[in-house]
Structure 1
Amino acid sequence: MNGVYAAILGLLLGSIPFGLLLTRAAGLGDIRSIGSGNIGATNVLRTGNKKLAAATLALDFLKGAASVWLAAALFGPETAGVAAIAAVLGHCHPPWLAFRGGKGVATALGVFLALAWPVFVAAALTWLAMAKLVKISSASALTGMAVAALVALLWGGWPLFWPVALIVVYVALRHHENIARLIAGTEPRIGQGK
């Protein structure tokens, strides 16, 4: 049952829609009505408010990390992977928003930190380097995710690799439209378009 409790905890924390809450509190309306319609930091940035976007990124990150840390503390370290996956799913499919949330990148980075800091460091540095190099959010995120899975395999073997790999695959699936635009050469740069 501990795994079930950890999953519920992860889903509940992960489903807090910080991007929507912050933009509404700032008087910017419903973030789902602009850009990609997602509730994550990249779409919040499209409002032109960099501070709100940074706050969304930080809070989505922290809810992922908190899900794993709390589950491990309350239900045992063996439940960390379940809580990690559940937190990302909760962010992507919050029940209070008709299961339409973000794409899970910031929350995934948070759970990576809580699962194993080298995985987080590798993913974050890759993401930042790619963002500076190509200035395309989705390409940066997807590259960082791929590196995270590789580092998880090398660093912790199967016990670490399986939850990280499932998260990486799911985040990639959430980016299927972005991948199609990347292939077509039409994916917008950071701060522009969808």
Structure 2
Amino acid sequence: MAILSFGIDFCIHSLLNIRETFLHLLENFIFAQFLIWLFYAVILVTTSAAICHHFGPQARGSGFPEIKISIRGIFMKEFYTVRTFITKIIALPLFVGSGSPIGKEAPFVHLSSIMAHQLSKISKRVICVYSNESRKSEMLAAGCAVGIACTFGSPVGAVFYAMEATNVYFETYNVKRCLLAATFSSTIYRVLINFSKF
């Protein structure tokens, strides 16, 4: 998830740089700059919305309210599928890279939860101890912690956020697992950011 977060940040930064390049080329034409600024944002937001509408309707929005509902036991249809994951990976950089006043925080928590759900499905087939339903909510809580840690770079705060926002009852033994996953992803994300060119 740290590598994915870095990739999304790189795409957002590249899209914003493209817009700034166009604006810089037309610095003597104020009205043309305004039109470029406006239509660039409209095209990217429209493309993002069309991708979500046609390929993965469950990828719309932040996804965080649905995660809270899922942890409490009500799973929404196609909310944790690979198709939703890929749709959100494509649509999120387009929307944020348009210059819209939103962030990638809550949508990235949704992406991390999808990854945690897919990993729990794989591990359920391999190790039968993960077939317990409580493991599913533990994995989703860890996915939320990883998503916050990759976005903000604070693993301890991410674990507290996962404890506070996602579960009514949070098992204390799951704190170690969430902290390990959040620390690992936060460290990898910070290393990638520090050694990158952008």
Q: Given the two structures, how large is their TM-score scaled by the length of structure 2?
A: 0.30
Q: Given the two structures, how large is their TM-score scaled by the length of structure 1?
A: 0.31
